[in-house]
Each structure stands twice: as structure tokens, then as C-alpha cells.
Chains A and B, each alone.
Chain A
């Protein structure tokens, strides 16, 4: 059998820019900050980079969701010979650029690829509060995928994912207290993350006292728009001996896209097509869910965490609500430390790239007060409309 491509590739560096609400630096400045720091982390220079990838590519939609293109990164970093480039937002599968970079490296198209995710949604919101709504603040008629929801005043993704939360609550008897444990856990971890945007302690009472945005989801069930950039360097495993850091191995990957983004829904609103990403991931490794030392699970909204925990087989179907209840099992010293850097709820909306960065923090032992003792494996998952997961480990 051919070696799986992810076994030929490692994470060799990772970094984040400052994260602001808003930042005084431009999106391109922040992107250059993150990319140069990630290269330095790997012991590489811009001339070593021969591939550039990003999610989702520069968007004409504005709103700060995708303000930087690979071409701009090539220019600002002075990367002279990029032989491979990818910008993919398709299916909102945030990890697609990483999976494609893995393939490019495994088949010899590139040796060192920089993958970045930059956002300027905080600045965009300062200019126009409506800029981050599904309608983009437009007053003309809505076309395409958003036409199925926006005319019914479902102006935020929260309205769609609240349907999942309500269905899950009803089917499994879940409660707001159980869901709130995620926000409380993430905030406790964020206190130890200097780059997290929200670090003030949050109690379950605070959570329950906050206003309902779209029932049953409340204010602290929502992630927050930020300005910032995260960069990851992927390298061929052969290069590991030349790198500054011990390589982080990519044990297995899984992905799936779904009809959600085109308005085509299946199932009973208590599971996502993330299930297929989980099945794919576990089909590519001999490790099992019990071997996971910590997990960075997508939390665009807190309900995503329950759906992903079950999709990844970390928790039996319908039991994620009881698993997170009280927070002990997902705390830093619990059986499955979860979103150790604060997740998107407390560290900001990097569309999953913050989760990937935090996985490297844990596996390189850089967590300081939030370090999970002896973390050797970390499962990371991304996405609400499209789905990606990686099982990472150190040697």
C-alpha cells in the first residue's frame, strides 16, 4: 500500500500575529507578521518557501472575512519562487488548503508550504456593524445560497446553528447549563493565553445571565470577530532534520463537505456531515479516540463542539451534553482537555486556524499555564458548513 500522504509531511512552524478588536495594523501587516514568525519558528527563510496556501483566498465580498491573497504574501515576503499556490474556500472546508498542501508536498510539487489565515472582521465591523451579516448589509435583493435564509431575517449563521442546538436539546434532553460549560471552560483556558481576546473569568451564572441571541444560544455561545493572522509551515518529513523544531507529525486527516452551504439540509439537525470527516480520520490510523491527549474542537458556536465531539467518536452519540456538563472532564487536568487556548469563543474567529495553532502550542510544550501535561497527541477539527480534522502527534 502506498504511504498515506500525510505521513510524508510534518508541521515545522506555527505563529500568530497580534490579535486585535481591532488591530491598528493592516491585514497584510498582520499576515506578514504571522508568516515571518512561523518561518523563523521553523528555522526557514522566505527563499525556502515554494508553496503558498490560504483559506479562503481574497474575497470580493468585503467584511474583512478574507482580506489577503497568496500573491500579496508572495510579494510582501519576497518569496521568489513559489511553484505551487492554492486558495480554497469551497464548501467552507477550512482545512482544505492544508490537505492540498499535504498532497503537493507528498508528490513533490513543493517542499515547504506556508499556509495562512487572515481576518479583518473587527475593523470591518468598526466601519459598518452590518458588514458581517449574511446579507453583507446590502439592501438590494439577495441571491444565491443566502436567498434561502436571509428573506426570513436569518441574518447570522447563528440562526442556522440554533436549529441544531434546539433539535439537540429536545432529542437528548440537553440543557443550557451543559452547553454553557463549554464557554466557561474556554474562558478559563484563555486566561493563560496572552493572545486571547477575552481573558476575564466567566462563570456559569454569567453565561446564563447573558442575553439570548437566537434560542437556545446565548451571547457567550458565539465566537467573536477579530483582526489577526495565523500561519502554519508544512514541510516534507525528509526535511525534519534541517528544521529548528522537532516535527509535529500528521497522523491522519479527514474531511467532508455538505449541502448546508447551498441550503440543502439532511438528517434531523442533531448531527453534521462532520461525521464523515471523523470516519475518514479514524480509517487512516491505528490510534483510537482514547489515545487523544487533548482536543481543539471547532467552536464557531458552542453547539459545534457537541456535534464535533460526537462526529469524531470522542463521545458516544447524544452524550456530549453530559460529557461537558460541569466542565471537569474537559478542563486542563480532565480526561479530554478541550480548546486549551480558549477556542474561538474566547480567542477569536480564525475559522479554525487558531485551533491548529493551539495544537502546535500543546505539542511543542509552549502552553505555560495552559499546558496539558505530557500532551503527545492532539485532535483538531474545523468547520461548521464544511469539515476538516487532523490528528497530530509528536514523536
Chain B
């Protein structure tokens, strides 16, 4: 499998009971976010109950994978040997709900990234994890 540009010493997430679905969702190319079956509220990170209505009927549900960059930063500091810089770390607001944020890297030239930019998910597989990265929407196939 091809190594991504910013892979370096990337530390992967553990597949924990409540979060494993998020990290493996990309196996079929679809991003999933926890949604409340009772009231329709999306929430991330996932929790055992809906923060809006307290229902325990919460489950991963497919999302469009589209969103916009709510904020971003270009990291220049080489925190670890082998870490490739610069790279963009960003909060993406998913299209499904206001203030539904996921953290990610934007795979695009750093100088091209702006707040509000439309982006969509592009998974990057590392071992048994599909990291949800984002690319400018127009750049997607």
C-alpha cells in the first residue's frame, strides 16, 4: 500500500469499543458518525447516550463525507524525528449538522488551504485503521 506524504512516525488510534467504528468506517469507503435514532442528533466523539435527548439508541450512520474547514493550522514544528512538515491540521464541520466537527489533516498544498474551503473525505489506510483525511472537494475524483 502506498505511504502517504505525511505518514512519518504517525501514531495510530487504538480500536476502542466506542470508537472502533469511526476508525474502520473507511473500509467500504463511507464515513460514519454516531447519530441518535430517537431525535436525529449527530454527535462526535461518540458517547453512550445522546447529549440532546439522553437516548441510549445511538449508532453509527453514514454521512456524506462532505464539509467545510472551520479552522486550520499549518504545523511547521518537527515534533518527532521523521515527522514530515509542514502539514495542515484542521477542524472540519461536516455538512450534516452545524458545529459537528472532526479533526483531520487536509491533503492539499498548505498555502492553498483556507477557512470555509469545501472538502470531502479521503481515507488513508494504515494497518487496520482508515484515517479520515480530507481533500478539497474539487480535487476529489
Contact = CB atoms under 8 A, between A and B. Distances in A.
A141 B103 CA distance: 17
Given A138-B11, A142-B11, A151-B11, A264 B45 contact: yes
Interface string B104-125: 1100000000010000000000
B76 interface: yes
Interface in A213-238: 213-217
Given A152-B131, A153-B6, A163 B14 contact: no
A154 B99 contact: no
Contacts of A163: 70-73, 89-91
Contacts of A12: none
Contacts of B10: 151, 153
B104 A152 contact: yes
Contacts of B43: 264
Interface in A251-294: 262-269
Interface in B1-33: 6, 8-14, 16, 19
A142 B14 contact: yes
A133 B13 CA distance: 16
Contacts of B103: 148-149, 152, 154, 263
Contacts of B9: 139
A153 B8 contact: yes
B31 to A, nearest CB: 15
A268 B70 CA distance: 7
A213 B78 CA distance: 9
A155 B80 contact: yes
Interface string B76-106: 1101100100010111000000010101110
Given A143-B14, A212-B74, A153 B105 contact: yes
Contacts of B75: 153-154, 159, 162, 213-215
Interface residues of A, number: 43
A243 interface: no
Contacts of B12: 141-142, 151
B96 to A, nearest CB: 16
Interface residues of B, number: 36
A151 B131 contact: yes
A147 B14 contact: yes
A167 interface: yes
A136 B130 CA distance: 23
A213 B11 CA distance: 20
Contacts of A148: 45, 103
A175 to B, nearest CB: 16
Given A162-B73, A170-B115, A215-B73, A130 B11 contact: no
Given A163-B73, A167-B70, A266-B99, 15 more contacts: A141-B14, A142-B13, A142-B14, A144-B16, A151-B13, A152-B103, A153-B6, A153-B8, A154-B75, A162-B75, A211-B76, A213-B75, A215-B73, A263-B44, A264-B44
15 contacts: A133-B79, A138-B11, A141-B12, A141-B13, A142-B14, A150-B11, A152-B103, A153-B79, A153-B89, A159-B73, A159-B89, A163-B89, A166-B71, A167-B70, A269-B91
Contacts of B87: 153
Contacts of A382: none
Contacts of B73: 159, 162-163, 165-166, 214-217
A164 interface: yes
Contacts of B105: 152-153
A71 interface: no
Nearest to A170: B115
